[in-house]
Structure 1
Amino acid sequence: MNKESNSIVKVWEAAVRKSAGPKKRANRIFTTPMSVAHVDDDVYQVEKILGNGDFYTGQWLNSFPNGQGKYLWTDGCMYVGEWQKGNITGKGRFSWPSGATYEGDFKNGFMDGKGTYIGSNGDTYKGFWVMDMRNGQGTQSYCNGDFYDGEWKKGLQNGHGRYQWKNGNNYIGQWMNGLCNGNGTLMWQNGNRYDGSWEHGFPKGNGTFRWSDGSFYAGVWSKDSNEQSGTYYPSDDDDPSDDIPSDWDPMDLFTVDLNDCRVCGLEKVSIFPSQKNLNMFGLEEDSSNKKLLSKKGFDANGKPKWNLGDERMSNYSSEDGSYSSYDGSRSPMIDHSIPRVPNLRLKAPKRQGETISKGHKNYELMLNLQLGIRHAVGRPAPSTSLDLKSSAFDPKEKVWTKFPPEGSKHTPPHPSCEFRWKDYCPVVFRALRKLFKVDPADYMISLCGNDALRELSSPGKSGSFFYLTNDDRYMIKTMKKSEVKVFLRMLPGYYKHVRAFENTLVTKFFGLHCVKLPGASQKKVRFVIMGNLFCSQYAIHRRFDLKGSTFGRTTDKAEDEIEPTTTLKDLDLNYIFRLRKAWFQEFHRQVDRDCDFLEQERIMDYSMLVGLHFRGISCSEAGTPSRNSGAHTPTGNFDDGAPRLSGVDMDRIVIDPSRWIQLGINMPARAEMTTRKSCDTPQLVGEPTGDTYEIIIFFGIIDILQDYDISKKLEHAYKSFQYDATTISAVDPRLYSRRFREFIFRVFVEDTS
């Protein structure tokens, strides 16, 4: 057995040396022919040296590794274990050249299930994994002697757990994002202990510090000494006293006692198994396989073709996010490239909006907005429960605050004019921000930081102004009084809906406010803060606003006039979007739920906003890199070497799970071009042509604050005299909901390939 293993390693090492030779040698797929033809339905043993020097030995079925097999990369990584239809799936062992190993369950190339990771420094994790991240119950032994036993989520301690330091100190309690958070107890080796609330790794809120002699200090804890308060109880006296021992200060807990209670960090994984390039392309001898995939990506027998020449393609690329294979699972070894249609030319996305600087007509309004938001979010408030009383939704539940330029007891001095500020239902929106996992500090920095807002031209007929934060995370929209009334009326239902359905596609709202300006007019500017659907590391090349109606639903722009910021409409749509089965089923369910909610609230005239990022397609102009990622907008003509996220960005994705795929966010899909027949009646959805692009798609339901009021009823009556009543947008909410769903489910379909 050892002789056989040694011979395999020698052959592989020889291949590594050969791979460093002239590139033309790489065109010979196998260094030595080591297998003969077999019947496709039979499992057989193969040994293959691949074009880039990688080596595979193991079982083979239907042109894929299937069963037990070993794969060695030229960089020293190795996988030994089970394969399923070309995927690393089942039990196996992955080893890194650094000496680190993982042994356990794999699923579609990911460490997924139960497994043990031993780092190069000796760190050991035993427990459950989901998509390369610690997730579930697990224990972590650190090389410095520390130990953690408890729950994990998305790679970090989360839930209930116990952390034991080498020096004997230990913490038992709640965790969030790798830090003590919630209720917990920290016990020192000397017998002292703290019981109480924690936030972001530090005591915060009600808690008690006890000494080993029985005395204790109970009160409210904070790193801010101004918020710190409490009472000292000596051990030999039942009467409490404000006289704290002279040799101790409550702030010592933060500056001294916690110094030797730091949570150890995790060893950085250089590259995950799911990121490794499984370079098995070109396993067919037929020269036709050296071409790109056919129009549908399959050969004459209906099997996926394997691409020969592109050794740059990554197994898991965060840029393309591919998860599909011929059986619906993710196959990292199949080239899912779709033939490029030569006539598609995209302009490079440009930064939207006009920066509001001094001298801009709305500069003072922007200052007022930022001052008011900073005051509203930063104002001390009790911890918000997600179970709200009905009184919190009362439209009369609002707070007025006066902002004089010289400042007041509750407001800072400012360079703008005097104004009054109103918060609508502040408790509800504080709960919504908590529900949507918005950190208050990040929220304030985005909206009220040193960077100015950007004003967008209104894309619709409402006449509203739109403002975008500098980091693109939030959008501010001015509102009419009628829209505010509708929003406040539906707020209880909205809160209940978004709390019940985490994957809801309806707009996320974070705050509703009003600025009252001075002067005779006493002008009021009402506005709502929303999430920006297109805040992503991907450049948005095309965007569509889809309603399911035809009257007036076109931009009438030639292809060369369409900018990435142009919002196209129903009759401009020339694609259908193919979602993998699991995503399509969830999409179908969620659209039904959201439409039922909007119909119940008597809302109509809403849209499905769709953004497309075309993978591997270059723009006709130099692009501007996204501010949220290292991924860049490609330049030049079509480039087979599509841009990929850097290793640093991959680390960010693992650390920041919010950048993972969600329903409507960062979703890999396929866009198939359609063409409309020439006829008098506009055709909403054209006929598929078979020309398909791989895309990253974003979508959500927007403009959900228009009810079927008297103005819309009059609009419906007027337009019905002139046009077909079924083609206009202003229709009864029930009809609108049915028509919207029928259209959306024709545009979004299940990918059966």
Structure 2
Amino acid sequence: MELEGRRDSVQYVGMQKGESRGSSRRRRLFWKLRQRWKLLGLFEIDKEHEFYTLTCDLKEGLRDAIQDVFQSDVPIQFTDEDYTSKLTQGHNGYVMRTYAGSLFQHFRQSLGMSEEGYQHSLSSCGHYLQFISNSKSKADFFLTNDKRFFLKTQSKREVNFMLRILKNYMQHFQAYPHSLLVKILGVHSITREQEKKKYFIIMQSVFFPDERIIGRYDIKGCQVSRWTEPEPEGSQVLQVFKDLNFESKVICLDQQRSWLLRQTELDTGFLRELNVLDYSLLVGFQPLHADEKSQNWSLANLIVRTKT
């Protein structure tokens, strides 16, 4: 008998007829790697990883999808058909679909992003990274090698909901460019041979660049099951803490307090109108250099700076 690790469980499987000893050793090594990966928050999806071929297909498919939309003329005014448009591209072994591509391109441009930079991040030769959190979500999270963008798997129902509210979502950002809402930059699906269709969205990482971030928090405004046990000092595990971990922390906003409260009210009001109940505020702690302390940056301008 051989022990094979899975993400949520451990299952015993029998050695298949004709399986070589070398293959068995490789499978055991792979299982050990997967157990080690479970202990880390962020790790590279290299050739030994179960998602390696999937992410290679994603990079190739996204490169071509972005190129196709980039070469198309973006309309001055959008119609209802633009919100329901779907670009289908066949590749060797899989099919990539892009939803409302011209609208998301327009949205990225409004955020000051270049299509060349966006395409390069998503399709560079560097391996994607996988982020495993303590979230209850069953979604898979991938991060581009430069850590600028997240790819998150979605259910068909979630994607349909996003596309249904897309016009409202973009109108909200047009009215409030300093919104704290996550910036969703694309919606796609991939169908690989003999596999079910996978839907996913692309989001801007709010923690980019992350070299100086010393703490990450996911704040929901409640206390039930909102504690994450800290790892021992010196641990390399990437943790996202919760409300109860944040209790002793203080953020001095001074004159910017009123702006933050107002923008939070606007954003949560927008989500409430859409009957979206489960959301949280991501907070990162980053020490300032001496020269940065002397610069009078507003919180709103800091938020806008994260878009480029």
TM-score (norm 2): 0.77
Tell me which amino acid in the other structure corresponds to 2:137. S
Which of 515, 521, 527 is residue 200 of structure 2 equivalent to? 527
CA contact 2:228–2:241 (8 Å) conserved in 1: yes
Q: In the alignment, which residue of structure 2 is the partner of 1:595?
A: 268
CA contact 1:386–1:435 (8 Å) conserved in 2: no
CA distance in 2, matches of 1:450, 1:561: 31
Cα deviation code 1:377-396 (max 9, x no counterpart): 111544324632222123xx
Cα deviation code 1:285-342 (max 9, x no counterpart): xxxxxxxxxxxxxxxxxxxxxxxxxxxxxxxxxxxxxxxxxxxxxxxxxxxxxxxxxx
2:51 matches 1:362: yes
Which of 613, 622, 644 is residue 286 of structure 2 equivalent to? 613
Tell me which amino acid in the other structure corresponds to 1:526. Y
Which of 387, 403, 413 is residue 91 of structure 2 equivalent to? 403
2:259 matches 1:586: yes
Q: In the alignment, which residue of structure 1 is the partner of 2:218?
A: 545
Return the offset for 1:359.
3.0
Percent identity over the alignment?
Answer: 26
Tell me which amino acid in the other structure corresponds to 1:568. F
**Cα distance change on mapping 1:643 and 1:538 into 2, 3 Å:** farther
Which of 185, 191, 212 is residue 510 of structure 1 equivalent to? 185
CA distance in 2, matches of 1:529, 1:558: 30
Q: In the alignment, which residue of structure 2 is the partner of 1:439?
A: 114
Return the offset for 1:561.
7.9
> Runs (4+) of structure 1 moved beyond 4 Å?
561-564, 642-645
CA contact 1:446–1:469 (8 Å) conserved in 2: yes
Return the offset for 1:369.
0.7
Cα deviation code 1:233-274 (max 9, x no counterpart): xxxxxxxxxxxxxxxxxxxxxxxxxxxxxxxxxxxxxxxxxx
Cα deviation code 1:437-484 (max 9, x no counterpart): 210111111111121111111341112111111222111111122211
**Cα distance change on mapping 1:445 and 1:367 into 2, 3 Å:** same
Equivalence map 1:206-285=2 (5 Å):
none
Which of 64, 79, 93 is residue 389 of structure 1 equivalent to? 79
Return the offset for 1:353.
2.1
**Cα distance change on mapping 1:563 and 1:665 into 2, 3 Å:** farther
Q: In the alignment, which residue of structure 1 is the partner of 2:21?
A: none
Return the offset for 1:360.
1.8
The structure with the larger Rg is: 1
Q: Which structure has the highest strand share of the two? A: 1
CA distance in 1, matches of 2:185, 2:141: 15
CA contact 1:392–1:425 (8 Å) conserved in 2: yes
CA distance in 1, matches of 2:76, 2:278: 30
**Cα distance change on mapping 1:471 and 1:643 into 2, 3 Å:** farther
Q: In the alignment, which residue of structure 2 is the partner of 1:576?
A: 250
CA contact 2:173–2:179 (8 Å) conserved in 1: yes
Q: In the alignment, which residue of structure 2 is the partner of 1:95?
A: none
CA contact 1:541–1:564 (8 Å) conserved in 2: no
CA contact 2:142–2:151 (8 Å) conserved in 1: yes
Return the offset for 1:664.
7.8
Equivalence map 1:139-158=2 (5 Å):
none
Cα deviation code 1:638-680 (max 9, x no counterpart): xxxx6768xxxxxxx9xxxxxx76528479xxxxxxxxxxxxx
Tell me which amino acid in the other structure corresponds to 1:392. D
Cα deviation code 1:162-198 (max 9, x no counterpart): xxxxxxxxxxxxxxxxxxxxxxxxxxxxxxxxxxxxx
CA distance in 2, matches of 1:644, 1:352: 32
TM-score (norm 1): 0.33
**Cα distance change on mapping 1:558 and 1:422 into 2, 3 Å:** closer
Tell me which amino acid in the other structure corresponds to 1:387. Q
Query: Secondary structure at the residue paired with 1:505?
Result: coil
Which of 663, 680, 684 is residue 300 of structure 2 equivalent to? 663
CA distance in 2, matches of 1:352, 1:593: 32
Which of 154, 158, 161 is residue 479 of structure 1 equivalent to? 154
CA distance in 1, matches of 2:99, 2:62: 12
CA distance in 1, matches of 2:139, 2:290: 37
CA distance in 2, matches of 1:428, 1:464: 25
CA distance in 2, matches of 1:663, 1:459: 30
CA contact 2:186–2:201 (8 Å) conserved in 1: yes
Which of 410, 417, 430 is residue 105 of structure 2 equivalent to? 430
Tell me which amino acid in the other structure corresponds to 1:480. S
Which of 118, 125, 135 is residue 460 of structure 1 equivalent to? 135
Query: Secondary structure at the residue paired with 1:482?
Result: helix
Query: Secondary structure at the residue paired with 1:554?
Result: coil
CA contact 2:41–2:239 (8 Å) conserved in 1: no
Q: Which structure has the highest helix share of the two? A: 2
Q: Structure 1: where are the runs of 5+ without partners?
A: 1-350, 405-417, 616-641, 646-652, 654-659, 668-697, 699-753
Query: Secondary structure at the residue paired with 1:488?
Result: helix
Query: Secondary structure at the residue paired with 1:663?
Result: helix
**Cα distance change on mapping 1:555 and 1:561 into 2, 3 Å:** farther
CA distance in 2, matches of 1:566, 1:664: 27
Q: Structure 2: where are the runs of 5+ without partners?
A: 1-39
Equivalent residue pairs, number: 261
2:42 matches 1:378: no
Tell me which amino acid in the other structure corresponds to 1:504. S
- Output the aligned Cα RMSD: 2.7
CA distance in 2, matches of 1:482, 1:563: 36
Return the offset for 1:614.
3.2
